[in-house]
Amino acid sequence: MFQRLAIPDLVLVTPTRHGDTRGYFSETFREREYAEAGITGPFVQDNQAFSQESGVLRGLHFQVPPAAQAKLVACTQGVIFDVAVDIRPDSATFGKYVSAELSAENGHQLYVPEGFAHGYLTLTDNCLVQYKVTAYYSPEDERGLAWNDPEIGIAWPLNGNQPTVSEKDSRLPHLSALRPSLEESAQ
């Protein structure tokens, strides 16, 4: 099932699971069906990230052209609060975000097209996140956005705790500081 979210370019995918007493079987990606739902590749790289503890926040990350990436994100162990922020300067939803809970149990995937910053917070220990991308990792084109930018106001489920954030992610700029470079790269 493919569900368009509040920002319609973002798609929540719930693959069908066929279960019996042994467990279940699920096709987690079928190119033709995903393309019919507007999720097109080609996907060129698969990534995996493991976080040992709950409260780990990764992001918000993106790459600019010519290496901009679309992502198809899944959590195959544990539970994450996944977020995508619209950073397309000409978009009516610029600076808005959508969130979804992805877990091994619910099997949901989030499709994040180019032009969005992406990040997530682990809600349980031992989270394994896997995602496909449409462009190779390019350090020179990698950018980020502050997870706690008040202009965006993401309602992270932190329960009053501070997340564990990498030193690199703790120095990411706010959207207002990024906007001029986003407008330039969009031209």
pLDDT (tens digit per residue) in 45-82? 999 999 999 999 999 999 999 999 999 999 999 999 99
CA dihedral 48, 102, 11, 14 (to 10 degrees): 100
- pLDDT band (50, 70, 90) for residue 179: confident
Residue pair 84/110 in contact (Cβ under 8 Å)? The answer is: yes
Contacts of residue 86, defined as CB under 8 A and 6 or more positions apart, other chains included, come to 7, 9, 93, 94, 95, 96, 97, 115, 116
HSE-CB of 186 using CA atoms within 13 angstroms: 14
Residue pair 95/170 in contact (Cβ under 8 Å)? The answer is: no
Contacts of residue 102, defined as CB under 8 A and 6 or more positions apart, other chains included, come to 73, 74, 75, 79, 80, 82, 108, 109, 110, 120, 129
Residues with catalytic annotation? 61, 131
Q: How many residues are given for the chain?
A: 187
Residue pair 76/48 in contact (Cβ under 8 Å)? The answer is: no
Say how many domains are in the chain: 1
Q: Which domain, by its residues, includes 150?
A: 2-186
pLDDT at 182: 85
| Separation between Cα atoms, residue 187 and residue 183, nearest integer Å | 7
pTM: 0.94
Token digits of residue 139: 């350090």
Q: What is the CATH number of the domain that holds 74?
A: 2.60.120.10
Helical segments of 17-117, H only: 31-36
Dump pLDDT digits (tens) for 7-47.
999 999 999 889 899 988 988 999 999 999 999 989 999 99
pLDDT at 64: 95
Q: Strand, coil or helix: what is 38?
A: coil
Q: Which residues pair with 147 in a beta bridge?
A: none
- The closest of 181, 180, 161, 5 to 82, measured between CA atoms, is 5
pLDDT at 185: 77
